[in-house]
Chain A
Amino acid sequence: MTKKWLLSVALSATLLSGSVLAADTLRIGTEGAYAPYNFVNDDGKLAGFEIDLGNALCKEVDMECEFVKNDWDSIIPNLIAGNYDIIMAGMSITDERKKTIAFSDEYKAVDPSIYAALKDTKVDFEKLDGKSIGVQGSTIQASFLEEKYGKTSTIKSYGKPDQAVADLAAGNVDIMLADGEFVRTVTDGSNGMLVVVGPEEMIGGGIGIGMRQDAEKLKDTLNAGIAAMKADGRLDEIMVKYFKDVKPYKTN
């Protein structure tokens, strides 16, 4: 047993040199499954709004950047554990999350969450009793549904957002709740098979960069970078590429 521990310590020690070298690059954690925010394209590369923005922002603040793919449900624990330095994964700024991590200023304004359903389903939002609602786990939408419909409806939570979409398309859930941009991307691309239904739910704040709470200097740097990109319209340019009806940050 002692030898085993010695071995593991020795193994770790050999790896330390590598990690010290990597400290100069800013590592960005993202999910890679949340189109149009972040996704893996057919070339097998990470792409999307946050990838473009992250690269532009890094150039702005003069840092080397590297994207790291991490599943959504462990994205905050692995930030705390230090596997990457910031999160850019369509994450809403919420008070609940602020207890464990810090956020930069928003880089995308708050967007109401919306429901999607198969085109011919009739859903009465006054009476959702017994209906099943699909949602991605550990999201603001999940906690919202849990609170509002947890007692009366069946809430199915999925590890990845596209699993919820797949189950919706196959008719395994009646409706699905997710971020507006994500839902619209799905409904627009589904050739009319899936449609937006029901009310808009105003939940969460804007979307910001998540980071460890002690990273105050980094937060200031990134906030300055975001402010500069908002001011001269560069952020708007990137947004237009991925979103419809963009409310521009640049005012004049």
Chain B
Amino acid sequence: MDWLMSTPFVQDIVILFKPALYNIYFALVSIPFGFPLAILLALGKNSRNRLIASFSKVYIYAFRGSPLFIQFFMFYSISLACNQSLWKPLGLDGLMLNPLFIGPLVLILNTSAYAAEIFYGALQTIPKGEIEASRALGMTKWQEFRTTTWPNMLRLAWPGYTNEVVFLFHATAIVYFTLPVINDQKDLLNKAGELFEKDYNLFLHFSVAALYFLVISMILFYLLNLVNKYLNRHLKVRSNLKIKPSYIR
């Protein structure tokens, strides 16, 4: 075993394990907040209330229309400019500029816009007949949403949402390109870059970092596919997601 542990490849896997946790942290914190926000935005865009609909539309367009890289820079520098006048009096200054907080915050703002567009698309394609049927049964608006709109939307949107979660995980790679690094809190690319600066072994360090991304993406994919199967359990034909580069984000 010793010779195995001492190979550079295995050593790199060990060194990059902790940095990988930072990427996982950023993604795992962002998903549970981004998901409900996305649902709200999708319903908002679909809303008959003009104000809510146009706010949701502008929000989704702005965050989908600009690079996340710029969003990170912009939100950090805006938050920095607010530090003395806003965060300090409120006692939030330790939080609002901490990469472990503002990183997921920007990711949530970003992913909710992308996911909202996916859910909105699903809302548009819910079979009309099912909604008419629930109305004919005399359901209230809430009952109609709970029994018809919601399960259909989720089922239709899930492949797209799965894709978005993988994109979100990949997006965690640029957090530390834009935000300050506190002590030794480094993510995969950050650490791989640092190792590369020491021995210039490009192929080793970047490949191991890539391997981590690949494996974690696959695991995310597998887990989300389980949910997909659950959502489609009533269908005769088994629905299976395929890992392929989906061009829609």
A77 x B181 contact (CB < 8 A):
no
B80 & A167 in contact (Cβ 8 Å cutoff)? yes
Which of B77, B88, B196, B197 has the most C-beta atoms of chain A within 10 angstroms of its own C-beta? B197
A171 contacts B83, CB within 8 Å? yes
Interface size of B by Cβ–Cβ distance < 8 Å? 17
Binary per-residue interface labels of chain A (148-175) against chain B in the complex, 1 for a CB within 8 Å, 0 otherwise: 0010001111110001001100111000
Distance in angstroms from B201 CB to nearest chain A CB is 11
Contact of B83 among A154, A159, A163, A170 (CB under 8 A): A170
Contact A156–B197 (Cβ < 8 Å) = no
Q: A73-B197, A77-B200 are in contact. Are A172 and B83 (CB under 8 A)?
A: yes
State in angstroms the CA–CA spacing of A157 and B193 once bound together: 15
Q: Is the CB of B197 within 8 A of A170?
A: no
Query: A76-B197, A172-B93 given as contacts; is B180 within 8 A of A157 (CB)?
Result: yes
- Docked pose: A168 CA to B130 CA in angstroms: 59
Contact of A156 among B80, B84, B181, B196 (CB under 8 A): B181
Interface residue SS majority, chain B: helix
Asked if B219 lies at the interface with its beta carbon under 8 angstroms from chain A, I say no
Contact: A170 with B81, CB < 8 Å?
A: yes
The docked-state distance in angstroms from the alpha carbon of A138 to that of B190 is: 12
Is the pair A77, B183 in contact by a Cβ cutoff of 8 Å? no
Across the interface, which residues of B come within 8 angstroms of A166, CB to CB? 77, 80
The residue from A74, A76, A81, A156 contacting B182, defined by CB atoms under 8 A apart: A156
A121 to chain B, nearest CB (A): 12
Q: Does A137 interact with chain B (Cβ within 8 Å)?
A: yes
**Chain B residues within 8 Å of A158, by CB:** 180
Are A170 and B80 neighbours in the complex by a CB distance under 8 Å? yes
What secondary structure prevails in chain A residues at the interface with B? Answer: mixed
A80 within 8 A of partner (CB): yes
Rounded to whole angstroms, the CA-CA distance of A156 and B182 in the bound complex is: 4
Q: In angstroms, how far is the closest chain A Cβ from the Cβ of B111?
A: 25
Would you give the 0/1 interface string for B83-125, flagging 1 where the beta carbon is closer than 8 Å to chain A?
A: 1100010000100010000000000000000000000000000
Known A154-B182, A155-B183, A158-B180; contact A171-B88, beta-carbon cutoff 8 A: yes
Annotate B219-237 by CB proximity to A: 1 below 8 A, 0 otherwise.
Answer: 0000000000000000000
Cβ-defined contact, A150 with B183, below 8 A: yes
Name the interface residues of B59-99: CB closer than 8 Å to any CB of A.
Answer: 77, 80-81, 83-84, 88, 93, 97
* Inter-subunit contact B182/A171 (CB<8 Å): no
- A157 adjacent to B80 (CB under 8 Å): no
| Per-residue interface assignment for chain A, residues 76 to 111, with 1 indicating a CB less than 8 Å from any chain B CB and 0 otherwise | 110011000000000000000000000000000000
Contacts of B177 in A (CB 8 A): 159
A172 to B81, CA, bound (A): 10
| Residue of B97, B180, B197 most packed against chain A (CB within 10 A) | B180
Task: For the complex, give the distance between the alpha carbons of A76 and B193 in Å.
Answer: 12
CB distance from A131 to the nearest CB of B (A): 12
- CB nearest to A74 among chain B residues: B197
Considering the chains assembled together, what is the distance between the CA atoms of A134 and B182 in angstroms?
Answer: 9
Q: Can you spell out 12 A-B residue pairs with CB atoms less than 8 angstroms apart? A: A74-B197, A77-B200, A80-B200, A134-B180, A137-B181, A138-B197, A155-B183, A156-B181, A158-B180, A159-B177, A166-B77, A167-B97
The 5 closest A-B pairs by CB, nearest first: A170-B83, A156-B180, A170-B80, A172-B97, A157-B181
A137-B181, A138-B197, A155-B183 provided; 5 other pairs, C-beta below 8 A? A154-B183, A155-B182, A156-B181, A163-B180, A171-B83
